[in-house]
Amino acid sequence: MNLPVTPPESPDSLLSLALPAALDGRDGTNRARGGQMQIAADSDVEAVRLWLAEYAGSPHTLRSYRKEALRLLMWATRTLGKPLSSLTREDFLLYERFLAAPAGDWADPARPRRGGMRRLFAGPLSERSRHQALGIVSGLLSYLVSAGYLAGNPLALRRRTGAAARRSPRVERYLDHTLWDYVLASVEQWPRATARDHQHYERSRWLIRLLYQTGLRVSEAANAKAADFYQRRGRWWLHVVGKGGAEGEVPVSAALMANFARYRVFHGLASTPSGNETAAAVMSVAGDPRRPLTPAAVYLIVKEVFRRAADMLETTDPAGAETLRRASTHWLRHSAASHQADAGTDLRFIQKNMRHASIQTTGIYLHAEDDRRHTETVKEGSGAKGPTRS
C-alpha cells in the first residue's frame, strides 16, 4: 500500500486569506489594549494562523479548525463588513442563524471547492454541526484572549439551549467488545505471501493494538518513539506528549509489550526497547526504524483495517459492517476509554489514561450503567403493566 507523505505546512499556508486594511483587525473594537501580548500578531489572519499552528501535528483537527476559521473570517468581513476582532455577542447570534441556512454563493454547488471563489458550505448545518462549529470558534477566541490579542470572548456568554442543553452526552463513536474482537481476528486472515504483505500485516496488527490499548491520538502515535516506553517499579509505562505539549504517562500491559516485542523482532530489533535508541514506535511504510509513520499514514492504515473487516463481515452482520465503515482512528481512543469503564476501572484512572483536562469529559464513556438499566427494564416479566379495566 502506497501512502502519501504529508509535508509540514508553513505558517502562511495554514490560512491563505488577504483582507483589506480596514478589515484586517488592527483596529478591532475587541482588541486587547495595554497588556502584554503572548503572540507576534498584528492582524486577525496572523493571529488565527498562530492558533492553527498549534494543531500542525494533527492534520485532521487542523483541517476542521481551518475550515471553521475561514468561514467565520469570510462571513464577518463580507456580510457584516467587520473584522473578526470587532465581533460582538449579537454578531454571533446572527452567525449561528447563518450557519443554519447559508444561501446564495456560500453554498452554490456551481462554485469550486478550492480557490478564492470557493463555496464554503455543502448546505445548512445540522444542530450538532452548528454546536461543533461554534465550539471550535469559541476555542479560537479563548486562545486569542489568553494570548492578549482579544479583550474578551463573545461566545463565552453563549447559553446552551434546546437539545444541546437537555442532552446527557454519551460517546457513540466506539466499537463494542464483539466488534473489536472481530477486527482483531480479521487482521489475522490478511495475506502474508510476499515480504511486502507480511510487513504491512505486522505493522497494521501492531498499530491498532497500540492505539486501542493506550488510547493515543493519531499524532501521538505517529510521534511515539521506542524510547518512550520505560519501566518503573517493574511495570511498563508510555510517556506521551499530547495536545499543547501536555505530558502524561499511560500504563502499558504485558500483552501490549509482547506485541511490541513481536513487531520489533520482525524488523530485526531487540525485543525490549532501550531508553537511548532512536527507533520509532511505529516505523515508516518502508520499515525504516529512524522514520516514523506520518499521522496521515496512521489514519489510512486504520481505515484500511476497518474496511477489510467490514468486507468480511458484510454477509453475516450488515449493521456491524456499516459501523466499521464509519469507524476511524479516534474510534479506537473512544473504544479504549469505553472498555476501561465497562471493566470497572476507576474513572479518575481513565481520566489520567486519556489525559482529559476534566473528569466530566471522561464521564461520557460510562455505558455499563445504562446497559444494566436497559437489561433490568426490558427483561422478561419486568416493566410497567398497562392499566386494568374496572
185 membership: H or E segment, kind and range: helix 177-187
CATH number at residue 309: 1.10.443.10
Kindly state the DSSP code that residue 147 receives in the 8-state scheme: T
What pLDDT, on the 0 to 100 scale, is given for residue 28? 93
208 membership: H or E segment, kind and range: helix 195-214
Specify whether 60 is located in the same domain as 205: no
> Does residue 385 lie within any of the structural domains?
no
User: Are the CB atoms for 317 and 323 separated by under 8 Å?
Assistant: no
Q: Which stretches of the chain are assigned E, i.e. beta strand?
A: 229-232, 235-241, 247-252
What pLDDT, on the 0 to 100 scale, is given for residue 9? 43
pLDDT digits (tens, 9 = 90+) for 124-133: 888 888 888 8
Question: CA 371 to CA 331: how far, in whole Å?
Answer: 20
CA neighbor of 131 nearest in space, from 173, 162, 87, 86: 162
Question: 3-state SS of the chain: helix, strand, coil percent to 5?
Answer: 55, 5, 40
> Does residue 93 lie within any of the structural domains?
yes
> Does residue 225 lie within any of the structural domains?
yes
Confidence of residue 99 (pLDDT cuts 50, 70, 90): very high
SS3 sequence of 11-37: HHHHCCCCCCHHHCCCCCCCECCCCCC
Q: Where are the alpha helices (DSSP H) in 215-357?
A: 218-223, 254-266, 295-313, 318-326, 329-342, 347-354
Average pLDDT value for residue range 76-82: 92
pLDDT digits (tens, 9 = 90+) for 170-179: 446 778 889 9
Residue corresponding to grid cell 463494542 = 176
Specify whether 362 is located in the same domain as 219: yes
Specify whether 346 is located in the same domain as 214: yes
Question: CA 240 to CA 16: how far, in whole Å?
Answer: 32
Specify whether 85 is located in the same domain as 192: no
What pLDDT, on the 0 to 100 scale, is given for residue 31? 93
> Does residue 68 lie within any of the structural domains?
yes
Specify whether 122 is located in the same domain as 212: no
> Does residue 240 lie within any of the structural domains?
yes
What pLDDT, on the 0 to 100 scale, is given for residue 62? 83
Domain around 40: 11-166
Total domain count, the chain = 2
The phi, psi pair for 89, rounded to 5°, reads -60, -40
User: What are 250's strand-pairing partners?
Assistant: 238
User: What are 23's strand-pairing partners?
Assistant: none
Specify whether 243 is located in the same domain as 352: yes
Residue corresponding to grid cell 504517562 = 249
Kindly state the DSSP code that residue 76 receives in the 8-state scheme: I
Specify whether 143 is located in the same domain as 68: yes
Least confident interval from 30-39, 211-220, 248-257, 293-302: 30-39
Specify whether 260 is located in the same domain as 155: no
> Does residue 171 lie within any of the structural domains?
no
User: In the listed set 144, 166, 188, which residue is the last one of a domain according to the structure?
Assistant: 166
pLDDT digits (tens, 9 = 90+) for 191-242: 999 999 999 999 999 999 999 999 888 888 888 999 999 999 899 999 988 7
User: What are 249's strand-pairing partners?
Assistant: 239
348/187: higher pLDDT: 187
> Does residue 265 lie within any of the structural domains?
yes
Confidence of residue 387 (pLDDT cuts 50, 70, 90): very low
What pLDDT, on the 0 to 100 scale, is given for residue 116? 52
> Does residue 389 lie within any of the structural domains?
no
Specify whether 181 is located in the same domain as 135: no
The phi, psi pair for 299, rounded to 5°, reads -60, -45
CA neighbor of 52 nearest in space, from 151, 148, 121, 140: 140
Specify whether 17 is located in the same domain as 154: yes
- Does the pLDDT value for residue 63 go beyond 90? no
Specify whether 160 is located in the same domain as 199: no
Specify whether 182 is located in the same domain as 137: no
